[in-house]
Amino acid sequence: MAKYKKKRARELKHDKFRDSTMKLLDMAGDRLEGRGRTILYGIGGLVVLALIVGVFWKWSGRRADEARQALGRAITIASTPISSAPSVGAASGPSFTSAQERSQRAIEVFQQVAAKYGDPYRTEARYFIATNMLATPDRAKGIAELTELSKDRNADVAALAKFALAQAKEADSKYEEAAGLYRELAVANNPLITAETANLRLAIAYKQLGKKKEAADLLFGIVDAARKAKDQEGSPKAQSQAARDAADELQKLDSERYAQLPPEAPPNSPF
């Protein structure tokens, strides 16, 4: 339904453009009637231009829908659950017995998207290719690609790539490097990778580095702010999953510090 509404909005935008153009041409025709063939040729050129623009709007809309669908199919493959035995029958969709098998297939489909469509779909496909490479023998290549994408001018892709890169560093026990990336993400506070999420992972990296106090301070700050946050009506805001995870981590890391947190508001409490 949402896709239909977007498509219909584009069609209406095209119709509005066409109607406005034809109205202007009618007005021009009334004013310039009898002024010669040259002026009519000029008006004819405007009509052709209007048609070209209209065709472009329609083509670009179809192209964008096609690109989104192709990217969606690739993401579906990349997120398919791993099964111990392959499913039988085409209706069940693709199935994979290992993360590497799934990643290899997803990479192939994402590469097709990157080769066929322009940005933002090409850059998004590159990000997914890089993250899937982490589960293949091309892991080093995936890390190199994520490093490049973490500097992309598309802020969302850059944030996602930097977060995936930081997690890869954690998996490789390179906690100092991971911590540096998480600090950058916390400062950026992108809506896709919020400061809460970045600071939670930063605290976990600090914990691995033996920096217990720094980790506890971060975790306490996340939970304390979340429990005190209010909406515009003065009611407690719903806590994010990152804040809840931070509370669990703090309780395990430093139970005394956890006990100093303000109490959690009951669900739907007006106070």
What total of structural domains would you count in the chain? 1
141, burial (CB in 10 Å: exposed 0-12, middle 13-18, buried 19+): middle
Question: Angle of helix 195-208 relative to helix 175-188, nearest 10 degrees?
Answer: 160
pLDDT lower than 50: segments of the chain: 1-18, 20-22, 24-25, 28-29, 31-32, 34-45, 51, 53, 55-57, 59, 90, 269-271
Question: What's the CATH number where 265 sits?
Answer: 1.25.40.10
What's the domain range around 181? Answer: 154-271
Q: Which two tokens stand for residue 205?
A: 């990296």
Does residue 114 form part of some domain? no
Is the residue at 54 inside a domain?
no
In a domain, 26, yes or no: no
Cis peptide bond upstream of 120, omega within 30? yes
Q: What share of the chain is helix, strand, coil (3-state, %, to 5)?
A: 75, 0, 25
In a domain, 169, yes or no: yes
Residue 134 belongs to a domain: no
d(CA 31, CA 40): 12
The model carries a pTM of: 0.74
Q: What is the pLDDT of residues 215-265, one digit of tens each?
A: 999 999 999 999 999 988 889 999 999 999 999 999 999 999 999 999 987
Task: Quote the CA–CA distance of 269 and 271 in Å, as a whole number.
Answer: 5
What would the pLDDT profile of 82-92 be if each residue is shown by its tens digit? 987 665 554 55
